[in-house]
């Protein structure tokens, strides 16, 4: 007879696990500042990792111990103070605690009835984010996994609008037989926007980039002429508020004003850049964003909530409801006064990301989040000063926000040689593991582009980054 009693066994195991979790969670959280950014030898540690499915499991305690052991050997410390790759924030205490609770409760925010509090927290937290970022209170919003999906939502609303301008509901008919959807932007357009346009049947090839230099800064006059060539036909405009190589901005207000004079939907990709609005020191960079039709904001970047968390804001709720219609006899109606977020966004079932967002905004308010943003602005300025003062390093931008572009330049090398040296040095820095930081291109030049978005980063961390780059650079160049 089968003696397996999952209910009883698993209840007992869960009870025993609580003590283990108390210890391991406090160890992990307490060591966040000290753990190396990327353990060297991660690939070797994972050799032999793949096995066939165990017939008899080892139990939760052993599985979690193994998970933690492996993560110490091969996990990136993306929550830590020395991770500047891509654009990655940390987690505030309130956000981390709330996110752990979201998992413990297994809270589901597809629709109100599954978690009235999770859904109302989403509505409240989105309202607070609009206040924090200076977006109109009347806009609708929805939480998604990150900025890629927020771009997906904004551009899905845009696509729906574009079809309706011509008498079509493209969520019903698709785009077949319709003309190409024009998309106008600058050279700062993010790769995720292109991915989204590909997925939505608009196509990467529909994008017209108006650039005045090889870095991608917008050619406003070319953009204006591009708009005029449309002769009133509807089009999509993507304004990039914060690009990833140097933290530069499209001229947000100017592009929106030009687009407004034509028949355009304006989407602002402000994944991290819209946080400029939080500080009076940088708010002018995103002035005018409220005159757009939709906007993308990331939470796991500069809001410092755990992965994954992003927010799409759209002027017109009806477009979202039509673009993402999700109806069946057993499902709630998208027009119910009690929200069904699963019917106005790409995910149907969805975890309670709202817990962490609500908790961090509740815990620290506008003032606390302004301090986090300004702390990162200060770190960027400090690091830029360190780069200026360090022989062998060359500053490549005048940082306006939280990204500093620089390269290793020992002198006496031509640009092409420096590009190759910095490309190899980028790999050497990652292999070394003390810092997680990436290289990219600024025009033709290869650069390092640390992005500072984590409240944990201290001056001494970025000072050490300069030392490590010079140390490894010298080794490579010798
Ligand atoms: C401007 C911008 N848009 C979109 C994205 C994509 O964000 P995610 O990785 O959260 O989907 C990023 C990521 O760095 C970004 O910087």
pLDDT in tens, 108-161: 999 999 999 999 999 999 999 999 999 999 999 999 999 999 999 999 999 999
**What is the band of 41 on the pLDDT scale with cuts at 50, 70, 90?**
very high
- Please provide residue 363's backbone torsions phi and psi, each rounded to the nearest 5 degrees: -70, -40
The pair of structure tokens assigned to 56 is 């008899």
**Rounded distance from Cα 192 to ligand 1 centre (Å):** 7
- pLDDT value of position 99: 98
CB of 147 closer than 6 A to ligand 1?
yes
Find the length of the chain: 478
CB of 146 closer than 6 A to ligand 1?
yes
- pLDDT value of position 4: 60
- Rounded CA separation 15/32 (Å): 27
> Would the pTM of this model clear 0.95, i.e. be above it?
yes
CB of 86 closer than 6 A to ligand 1?
yes
pLDDT higher than 80, residue 3:
no
CB of 148 closer than 6 A to ligand 1?
yes
Per-domain residue ranges for the chain? 96-364
**Burial grade of 66 (CB within 10 A; 0-12, 13-18, 19 or more):** exposed
Beta bridge partners of 144: 310
**What is the band of 68 on the pLDDT scale with cuts at 50, 70, 90?**
very high
Locate the ligand 1 atom nearest the alpha carbon of residue 149 and give its number. Answer: 11
The pair of structure tokens assigned to 297 is 């904001």
- Rounded CA separation 439/418 (Å): 13
Name the class of domain 96-364: alpha beta
List the residue whose alpha carbon is closest to atom 4 of ligand 1: 147
């Amino acid at each position: 007879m089968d003696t397996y009693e999952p209910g009883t066994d698993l209840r007992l195991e869960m009870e025993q696990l609580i003590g283990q979790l108390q210890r391991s969670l406090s160890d992990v959280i307490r060591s966040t500042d000290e753990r190396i950014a990327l353990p060297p030898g991660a690939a070797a540690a994972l050799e032999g990792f793949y096995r066939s499915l165990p017939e008899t499991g080892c139990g939760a305690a052993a599985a979690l111990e193994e998970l933690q052991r492996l993560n110490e050997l091969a996990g990136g410390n993306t929550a830590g103070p020395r991770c500047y790759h891509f654009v990655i924030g940390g987690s505030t205490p309130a956000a981390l605690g709330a996110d752990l609770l979201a998992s413990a409760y297994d809270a589901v925010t597809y629709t109100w009835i599954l978690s009235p509090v999770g859904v109302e927290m989403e509505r409240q937290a989105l309202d607070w984010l609009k206040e924090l970022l200076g977006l109109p209170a009347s806009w609708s919003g929805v939480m998604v996994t990150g900025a890629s999906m927020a771009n997906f939502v904004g551009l899905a609303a845009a696509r729906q609008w574009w079809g309706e301008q011509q008498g079509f509901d493209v969520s019903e008919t698709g785009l077949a037989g319709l003309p190409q959807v024009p998309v106008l932007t600058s050279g700062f357009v993010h790769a995720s926007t292109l991915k989204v346009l590909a997925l939505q049947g608009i196509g990467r090839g529909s994008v017209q980039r108006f650039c005045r230099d090889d870095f991608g800064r917008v050619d406003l006059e070319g953009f204006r002429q591009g708009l005029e060539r449309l002769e009133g036909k509807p089009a999509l405009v993507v304004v990039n508020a914060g690009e990833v190589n140097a933290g530069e901005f499209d001229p947000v207000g100017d592009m929106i004003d030009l687009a407004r004079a034509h028949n355009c939907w304006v989407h602002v990709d402000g994944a991290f850049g819209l946080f400029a609005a939080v500080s009076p020191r940088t708010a002018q960079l995103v002035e005018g964003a409220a005159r757009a039709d939709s906007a993308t904001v990331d939470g796991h970047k500069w809001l410092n909530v755990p992965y994954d968390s992003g927010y799409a804001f759209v002027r017109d709720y009806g477009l979202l409801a039509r673009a993402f219609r999700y109806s069946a006899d057993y499902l709630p109606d998208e027009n119910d006064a009690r929200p069904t977020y699963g019917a106005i966004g790409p995910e149907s079932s969805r975890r309670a990301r709202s817990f962490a967002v609500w908790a961090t905004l509740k815990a620290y308010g506008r003032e606390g989040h302004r301090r986090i943003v300004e702390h990162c602005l200060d770190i960027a300025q400090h690091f830029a000063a360190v780069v200026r003062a360090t022989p062998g390093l060359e500053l490549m931008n005048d940082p306006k926000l939280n990204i500093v572009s620089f390269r290793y330049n020992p002198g006496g090398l031509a640009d092409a040689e420096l590009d190759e040296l910095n490309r190899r040095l980028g790999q050497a820095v990652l292999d070394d593991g003390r810092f997680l930081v990436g290289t990219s291109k600024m025009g033709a030049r290869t650069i390092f582009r640390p992005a500072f978005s984590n409240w944990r980063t201290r001056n001494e961390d970025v000072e050490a980054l300069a030392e490590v780059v010079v140390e490894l650079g010298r080794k490579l160049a010798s």
